[in-house]
Structure 1
Amino acid sequence: MNNPPQYEVAVIGAGPGGIAAGVKLRQAGIEDFVILERSDEVGGSWHENHYPGLGVDIPAVAYQYSFARNAKWSRVFPLGAEVKAYHMEVARRFDLYRNVRFDTNVEREVWDDEGGYWKLHTGEGPVVTARFLISAVGAFVRPKAEVGIPGVDSFAGKVQRPTDWDHDYDMAGKRVGIIGTGASAVQIIPSIAPHVGTLTVFQRTPVWSIPKPDFRIPPTAQKVLAVPGVQAALHGGALLVIDSVLRGVVKGPNRTVHTVMDQFDAVCIAAYRRYVSRVVQDPATRERLTPNFGLFAKRPTMSNGYLKAYNRDNVSLVTDSIETITPTGVRTRDGVEHEFDVLILATGYEVFSDPETYRPGTVVGRNGFDLAKFYNEEGLQAYESVSVHGLPNRWTLCGPYSWTGSGWHAFVEMTSDHAVRAITETRGRGAAICEIRKEAADAYHRRIYHQGETLRYYLADLNGHVPTYYRNSQGDTTYVRPSGFFEARRGNRKFPLDDYLYTTVPEGVPA
């Protein structure tokens, strides 16, 4: 006979999603839960990342929980330390710290068919068991272990990574190279350029970097934001605009939408070219900094200092491809040896929307169902982006087709609502197991895949020449949910309860 599980609910991750799930469980009267966090503090990426210049790239009023709005943000776009402090304060306010087990890295999730619960293998630590499981790992699952460049381990100088930044190392006067021009690099480059000796940026693909309307929020404005309903109205208005645009893209006639997309990209590229020409002084440099792809083909960035950094005498841009990393620096394919004291590897993350992110044998469900095998063979899919047939009692807060153009907090709240509603219904029916019905999951995926046609055209056809995590290795656009925000929220909060199958545990097994 199996022993009963240790917890009713286990949540993997104490970042924004894990905090949302913990709060929602507590509000639903579910107290028997544990949050398993691989690091030593809550906050997720905002704890693990602490590189120079780190900050949010959407306004603070849209980057917070609806149940914990903060009127005292110091800036329109707060810096990383303030964002981390916000998440810590929310965790304290809702008494989540007593539910968190830090330094606990879940390496495998295995469903126990006989007992009807999940076994979570934590490396060298003990196996944690729970009846229900919520994966709150987030969008950026782990930093890329392999940067895809030969000789990376041979470099004899100092290596810095956005997720492992050594602030005690003084880079003043040093020769610094940075590989990558993504969101992290756009923040790092202008932050360190005034202090280092030389800075060489290795760019594979140029990035859109538009002006950031950032400024300090005066006390009078903070008082206005503290008035009940003001921040909700501001955020709601922004969501309505984004929602109408996204719905127009996915619901409009394909031929019309394709034409609009073509023209939109052409206008934006031309306008950005004019903007770069006004900001960047050197004609050759600004030409290499100008994208030949649409504004939304890759994640656009916001910065008031990134492009200006290339006007500095100590900053140079290299677009020749890298042949190898050497003990003293970087050799490009044109034969040039670039020597450095410091090498910054801003080479990105494995994201939730790529099948390669899921390792075989790490998530194993009913009757040996392997999530990685399923995703690689059938494509990424999940009912309302959270539930997969074959994985009973399990929900993912950031799953296939989940991002709706909103801030992260808005959609991890709605997906947490989905998980908690399903758990509550299971308990209310006197059942112990719930699993999304295959027919419901398949019907949902057919509908959402059909709605994604125009997004696939934009990312795989119109802008198919540019590498982007918005388009995965299977050519699908599983990062973005092809519906409006409000449609997604209704789907997660009001899904038909009978889309799930509810059963009891096997006879003789303690409930």
Structure 2
Amino acid sequence: MTGTGIDHEVIIVGAGFSGIGAAIKLQEAGFDDFLIVDEADGVGGTWHWNTYPGIAVDIPSFSYQFSFEQRASWSRTYAPGRELKAYAESCVDKYQLRPRIRFDTTITEAEFDEDGCRWRLHTATGDELTARFVISATGVLTRPKLPEIPGVDDFAGVTMHTSRWDHQQDLRGKRVAIIGTGASAVQVIPETAPEVEQLVVFQRTPIWCLPRLDLPLPKPVQWALRVPGARSLTRLISQTYVEITFPIAAHYHTKLPTAALGERAGLAHLRNQVHDPVIREKLTPRYALGCKRPSFSNDYLVTFNRDNVVLETDPIAQITSTGVRTASGTEYPVDVLILATGFKVMESGNMPTYDLRGIGGLDLEKWWDENRLQAYEGVSVPGFPNFFSIIGPYGYNGSSYFALIENQTRHILRCLRHARAGNATIVEVTREANDRFFQEMLARRGGQVFWQDSCAVSNSYYFDKHGDVPLRPSTTVEAAWRSGHFDLSDYRFATSA
């Protein structure tokens, strides 16, 4: 934007699917002056960084894709990670986004320049980028979370987090310990167990694991999906399944019995897969289905029937230079320590992944600490004009992330189009609109599963430091409708002097 002192009209932070989806829709709407920045050396976000054995999408592939770019060539109903990475690459190439992406660029802080009515973004290398508007698309599965266990840094063997898998390491014949039984562990454990000498799984909280209809999609099926209307129908069926299994089950727990049906299915799956009643008891969740995101796997539970797999539920007291010691004194010698401890999700330093200061130097992290996590429709926060989030508090309802991306991008584009039509250079949600939305979200949460007594023992990352669960308590259909019909007067549109 020559002559304005602004490098780009819009800067998108993040080249995962959130950033890709936002960029595609910006182009379609005629917003051509944008730049995508990402700290990685390739696109895909989660699917660029996470390459551990067994990685795959945890909802049907037909739902885990853009509605406007539906693929017929998935190899399975639950696509492996490499196909999601390839899908990201194909979207970037088809929509000619690659020249607009700046890789190996870590944003460390962003501050709103009130005089210039622009955002100044600072990088780890000392560069500065400026933009009228910023779209934060950094996702939530971004910053690996390391366990706070004494001695974790003292281990002399190989240590790796599942999100930063070292493919140079050969696990064959090794003594391996894996800490955690969340979503990534459910996928990596069945892949690892057959090749190691011993696999010790340290479980803090058992996870609900349900069977999944994971079927190969051979060429004839892929050809059939190219028939007009076939992909749309398949997607509708898939979306309905996803909606029932989490958003409806979680947010309408007190009104609909879907969670109870899911629990019965999960317990039956556990009985059918695990032979030893003692191990089966250890793997039985003591909290309601939905307190934390469940997993779907046909291979995870049966792995605990193997002679070389140990399920340890005694808390870890210390990690030594040669292994792991439990609270009761049992010590396991270990060659490789795998941390399947997830990500910083509802924690400081992750939403966004950089320091953010708005009007008058207002610090977003500090403001959230003082006022609880909140954002109007999951997109905007008062005091931070011209800044929009794809995955903000109360934006995501637990459905497909692609539904979220398209909904939030629709919301953002309504704001940008209105600003352009009125030559506005300032777009800021009003405090009144934000407060109204936040109170609505809080008023709805009584029907959610998260507030059942049993959730207190689930150790769910859904709960933030304030005890809130900043997930949108609504159906995906409602979220989509609101993204296209919110009252534009909930924002202040102004022109800088």
Superposition TM-score, scaled by structure 2 size: 0.94
Letter in 2 for 1:334: S
Deviations 1:179-226 (A, max 9, x none): 000110111100011111111000000111112211211222212211
2:168: which partner in 1? Answer: 168
Letter in 2 for 1:107: T
> Structure 1 residue 469: deviation in Å?
1.5
1:470: which partner in 2? Answer: 462
2:233: which partner in 1? Answer: 233
CA distance in 2 between counterparts of 1:246 and 1:185 reads 20
1:4–1:48 CA distance, 2 compared to 1 (3 A): same
1:143–1:376 CA distance, 2 compared to 1 (3 A): same
Superposition TM-score, scaled by structure 1 size: 0.92
1:504: which partner in 2? Answer: 495
> Structure 1 residue 357: deviation in Å?
4.0
> Structure 1 residue 308: deviation in Å?
1.1
CA distance in 1 between counterparts of 2:275 and 2:248 reads 39
1:153: which partner in 2? Answer: 153
Letter in 2 for 1:485: T
Kept after mapping to 2: 8 A contact 1:272/1:290:
no
1:509: which partner in 2? Answer: none
SS at match of 1:8: strand
Q: Does 1:448 align with 2:441?
A: yes
SS at match of 2:310: strand
Letter in 2 for 1:140: L
SS at match of 1:502: strand
1:315: which partner in 2? Answer: 309
1:114: which partner in 2? Answer: 115
1:119–1:466 CA distance, 2 compared to 1 (3 A): same
2:366: which partner in 1? Answer: 373
Letter in 2 for 1:391: F
Kept after mapping to 2: 8 A contact 1:360/1:370:
no
More displaced 10-residue stretch of structure 1: 233-242 or 175-184: 233-242
Number of residues paired by the alignment? 495
CA distance in 2 between counterparts of 1:66 and 1:251 reads 24
1:369–1:204 CA distance, 2 compared to 1 (3 A): same
Deviations 1:412-454 (A, max 9, x none): 0110111122112111101111111111111121112211222
Kept after mapping to 1: 8 A contact 2:249/2:256:
no
Q: Does 1:458 align with 2:450?
A: yes
User: For residues 110-509 of structure 1, what are the structure 2 equivalents within 5 Å?
Assistant: 110-144=111-145, 146-240=146-240, 258=254, 268-269=262-263, 271-351=265-345, 353-354=346-347, 357=350, 362-455=355-448, 458-459=450-451, 461-478=453-470, 480-506=471-497
1:251–1:46 CA distance, 2 compared to 1 (3 A): closer
Deviations 1:21-69 (A, max 9, x none): 1101100111110001110000000000100000011111100011211
Deviations 1:50-90 (A, max 9, x none): 00000011111100011211011111111011110011100
1:154–1:7 CA distance, 2 compared to 1 (3 A): same
> Structure 1 residue 233: deviation in Å?
2.7
CA distance in 2 between counterparts of 1:40 and 1:430 reads 36
1:58–1:472 CA distance, 2 compared to 1 (3 A): same
2:47: which partner in 1? Answer: 46
Kept after mapping to 1: 8 A contact 2:250/2:450:
no
Q: Structure 1 unaligned segments of length 5 or more: list them.
A: 507-511
Letter in 2 for 1:149: I
User: For residues 20-99 of structure 1, what are the structure 2 equivalents within 5 Å?
Assistant: 20-99=21-100
Kept after mapping to 2: 8 A contact 1:265/1:293:
no
> Structure 1 residue 474: deviation in Å?
1.3
1:360–1:70 CA distance, 2 compared to 1 (3 A): closer
> Structure 1 residue 336: deviation in Å?
1.2
1:306–1:245 CA distance, 2 compared to 1 (3 A): closer
Kept after mapping to 1: 8 A contact 2:47/2:81:
yes
1:233–1:273 CA distance, 2 compared to 1 (3 A): closer
Letter in 2 for 1:477: V
Kept after mapping to 1: 8 A contact 2:206/2:285:
yes
More displaced 10-residue stretch of structure 1: 240-249 or 462-471: 240-249
Letter in 2 for 1:401: Y
More displaced 10-residue stretch of structure 1: 275-284 or 67-76: 275-284
Deviations 1:157-193 (A, max 9, x none): 0112112111121111000000000110111100011
SS at match of 2:311: strand
CA distance in 2 between counterparts of 1:277 and 1:444 reads 44
Kept after mapping to 2: 8 A contact 1:244/1:484:
no
CA distance in 1 between counterparts of 2:443 and 2:479 reads 16
CA distance in 2 between counterparts of 1:499 and 1:452 reads 23
More displaced 10-residue stretch of structure 1: 104-113 or 404-413: 404-413
Letter in 2 for 1:14: A
Kept after mapping to 2: 8 A contact 1:437/1:499:
yes
More displaced 10-residue stretch of structure 1: 220-229 or 206-215: 220-229
CA distance in 1 between counterparts of 2:250 and 2:190 reads 37
CA distance in 2 between counterparts of 1:39 and 1:251 reads 35
Deviations 1:307-362 (A, max 9, x none): 111111111110000001100010111111111110001111011x3457458981
Aligned-pair identity (%): 41
